[in-house]
A and B are shown apart, each in its own frame.
Chain A
Amino acid sequence: MNKYIQALFLVFVLISCSREPELFTNPDIEKAGISFKNTLTPNEDMNILDYLYFYNGGGVAVGDINNDGLPDIYFSGNQVKNELYLNKGNLQFENITEQAGVAGTSDWNTSAIMGDVNGDGFLDIYVCAVVGLNGLDGHNELFINNGDNTFTESSEKYGLDLDTFSSSAAFLDYDLDGDLDIYILNHAVHTQNSFGKAELRYERNAQTGDRLMRNDGGSFTDVSEEAGIYGGINSYGLGIAVSDFNLDGYPDIYVGNDFHEDDYYYLNNGDGTFTEDLKSHFGHTSRFSMGSDVADLNHDGWPDLISLDMLSEDEHVLKSSEGDDNIQTQRLRTDKYGYHYQFTRNMLYINREGGNYQESGLLSGVAATDWSWSALFGDFNQDMEQDLFISNGIPKRPNDLDYIKFVSSEQIQNKISNTGLIDQKALEKMPSGKTHNYIFEGTSELVFKDRSSNWIANDTLASGATAYGDFDNDGDLDLITNNLNSSPTLYVNQTNNKGNYLKVRLKSNTANPFAIGAKAYVYAGGIKQLKELYTVRGFQASSEPILHFGFKDIEMIDSVRIIWPDRTTQLLTNIEVNQILLVQQANTRAFNYKTLLSKQRPLFLKVNDSTSLDFTHREDAYSDFDREKLIPYQVGDRGPAVAIGDLNGDGKDDIFFGGSKFIASQIFMQTDSSFVKSKIHTIQNDSINEEVAAVIADFNKNGANDLFTATAGGDFSNKSKPLLDALYLNNKSEFIRANLPQLFENTSVLAVHDYDADGDLDVFVGSQSITGSFGKLPTSYLLENKNGNFAIAQEFKELGMVTSAIWDDFDGDSKKDLIVTGEWMHPIFLKNTGDKLVKQDKIKGDLYGLWQSIIAFDIDHDGDTDYVLGNWGENSKFKASDEFPMLMYYSDFDANGQTETLVVTEKNESYYPLLGLDALASQLVSLRKKYSTYKSFAGQTIEEILSYNQLKSSKKLKVNTLKSGYLRNDSGSYTFVPFNRDFQVAPIMTFCKFDFDNDGADEILAAGNYFGVQPFHGRLDSFTGALIKDEKTIITGDKLGLDFAQKSIRHLNTILFQNRNYLIATPNNGKVQLYQIGKSIKN
Chain B
Amino acid sequence: MYKYPTIFFLLALSIWSCSKDEKPIVITPNDYNNAVDKVTEVIIHDIFSPPVASRIYAYSNIAAYEVLVQKNKDYKSLAGKLTDLKPAPQASADAPVNYDLAALIAQMEIAKTLIFSEDKITALRDSLYTSWEKQNPTELSASKEYGLKVADHIKSWMDGDMYKQTRTMPKFSVNPDNPSRWQPTPPAYMDGIEPHWMKIRPFVIDSASQFKPLPPPEFSMEKDSEFYKQLIEVYDVRNAMTSEGDDSEKIAIAQFWDCNPYVSTHKGHLMFATKKITPGGHWIGIVKIATQKTNSNLMETVHAYTKTSIALFDGFISCWDEKYRSNLIRPETLINQYIDDSWAPVLQTPPFPEYSSGHSVVSGAAAEVLTQIYGDDFSFEDDTEVAYGLPVRNFTSFRTASSEAAMSRLYGGIHYRAAIEEGLKQGRQIGDYIVKNLNLKTDTAQAAN
Contact = CB atoms under 8 A, between A and B. Distances in A.
A193 B265 contact: yes
A220 B28 CA distance: 80
Interface string B245-267: 00000000000000000001111
Contacts of A398: 268-271
Q: Which of A328, A408, A898 has the most CB of B within 10 A?
A: A328
Interface string B78-117: 0000000000000000000000000000000000000011
A192 B270 contact: no
Contacts of A49: 267, 270
Contacts of B167: 896, 922-923, 925
Contacts of B266: 193
Interface in B161-198: 164-165, 167-168, 170-177, 183-184, 186-187, 189, 191
A414 interface: yes
A335 B176 CA distance: 9
B118 A414 contact: no
Interface in A406-427: 406, 408-409, 412-414, 416-418
Contacts of A192: 342, 344
Interface string A167-202: 000000000000000000000010111111100000
Contacts of B116: 928-929, 932
Interface of A: 48-49, 52-53, 189, 191-197, 259, 288, 322, 325-326, 328-329, 331-332, 335-336, 398-399, 403-406, 408-409, 412-414, 416-418, 621-623, 625-627, 629, 894, 896-898, 900, 922-923, 925, 928-929, 932
B117 A409 contact: no
Contacts of A194: 186-187, 336, 344
A195 B186 contact: yes
A53 B268 contact: yes
Interface in B313-372: 336, 341-342, 344
A230 B264 CA distance: 30
Nearest to B174: A328
A408 B275 CA distance: 9
Contact of A52 (B47, B269, B274): B269
Nearest to B118: A929
A291 to B, nearest CB: 15
Given A621-B173, A928-B116, A404 B272 contact: yes
Nearest to A193: B187
A121 B214 CA distance: 80
B5 interface: no
A900 B45 CA distance: 28
Chain A contact residues, majority secondary structure = loop
Chain B contact residues, majority secondary structure = loop
Contact of B168 (A193, A622, A625, A896): A896
B443 interface: no
Contacts of A898: 165, 168
Q: Which of B168, B171, B176 has the most CB of A within 10 A?
A: B168
A898 B341 CA distance: 42
20 contacts: A53-B268, A193-B265, A194-B186, A196-B341, A259-B268, A328-B184, A332-B176, A336-B176, A399-B271, A408-B272, A408-B273, A414-B389, A416-B272, A416-B274, A417-B274, A418-B389, A896-B168, A898-B165, A925-B164, A929-B118
B184 A405 contact: no
Contacts of A191: 267
Nearest to A233: B342
B218 interface: no
B170 A409 contact: no
Q: Nearest 6 A-B pairs (CB), nearest first?
A: A52-B268, A408-B272, A193-B187, A194-B186, A398-B270, A409-B275
Contacts of B344: 192-194
Interface residues of B, number: 43
B119 interface: yes
A398 B266 CA distance: 10
A604 B390 CA distance: 70
B1 to A, nearest CB: 48
Contact of A629 (B171, B175, B270): B171
Q: Which of B116, B170, B269 has the most CB of A within 10 A?
A: B269
A332 B271 contact: no
A331 B176 CA distance: 9
A329 B171 contact: no
A48 B191 CA distance: 28
A403 B275 CA distance: 13
A225 to B, nearest CB: 22
Contacts of B191: 326, 328
Nearest to A331: B176
A48 B269 CA distance: 9
B186 A52 contact: no
Contacts of B176: 331-332, 335-336, 621
Nearest to B185: A194
A623 to B, nearest CB: 6
Contacts of A189: 268
Contacts of A196: 341-342
Contacts of A900: 168
Nearest to A898: B168
Contacts of A896: 164-165, 167-168
B189 A399 contact: no
A671 B45 CA distance: 69
Contacts of A623: 173
Given A196-B341, A332-B184, A408-B271, 12 more contacts: A191-B267, A192-B342, A194-B186, A328-B189, A332-B176, A335-B176, A404-B264, A404-B273, A409-B272, A412-B272, A621-B176, A627-B171
Contacts of A403: 272
Interface in B112-135: 116-119
B274 A409 contact: yes
B175 to A, nearest CB: 7
Q: Which of B46, B267, B336 has the most CB of A within 10 A?
A: B267
Given A194-B344, A332-B183, A399 B174 contact: no
Contacts of A331: 174, 176
A626 B168 contact: no
Contacts of B174: 328, 331-332
A897 B342 CA distance: 46
Contacts of A416: 265, 272, 274
Nearest to A394: B269
A191 to B, nearest CB: 7
A406 B164 CA distance: 25
A626 B342 CA distance: 31
Interface in B63-87: none
B187 to A, nearest CB: 3
Contacts of B274: 409, 412-413, 416-417
B341 A322 contact: no
B158 to A, nearest CB: 14
A527 to B, nearest CB: 41
A929 B115 CA distance: 8
A49 B268 CA distance: 8
B258 to A, nearest CB: 11
B168 to A, nearest CB: 4
Interface in B250-309: 264-275
Q: Which of B47, B119, B174, B268 has the most CB of A within 10 A?
A: B268
Contacts of A897: 165
Nearest to A189: B268
Q: Which of A49, A409, A896 has the most CB of B within 10 A?
A: A409
Contacts of B164: 896, 925
B168 A404 contact: no
Contacts of B187: 193-194
B269 to A, nearest CB: 5
B173 A923 contact: no
A238 to B, nearest CB: 11
Contact of B270 (A48, A336, A622): A48
Given A332-B183, A332-B189, A896-B164, A409 B273 contact: yes
Q: Which of A48, A49, A194, A259 has the most CB of B within 10 A?
A: A194
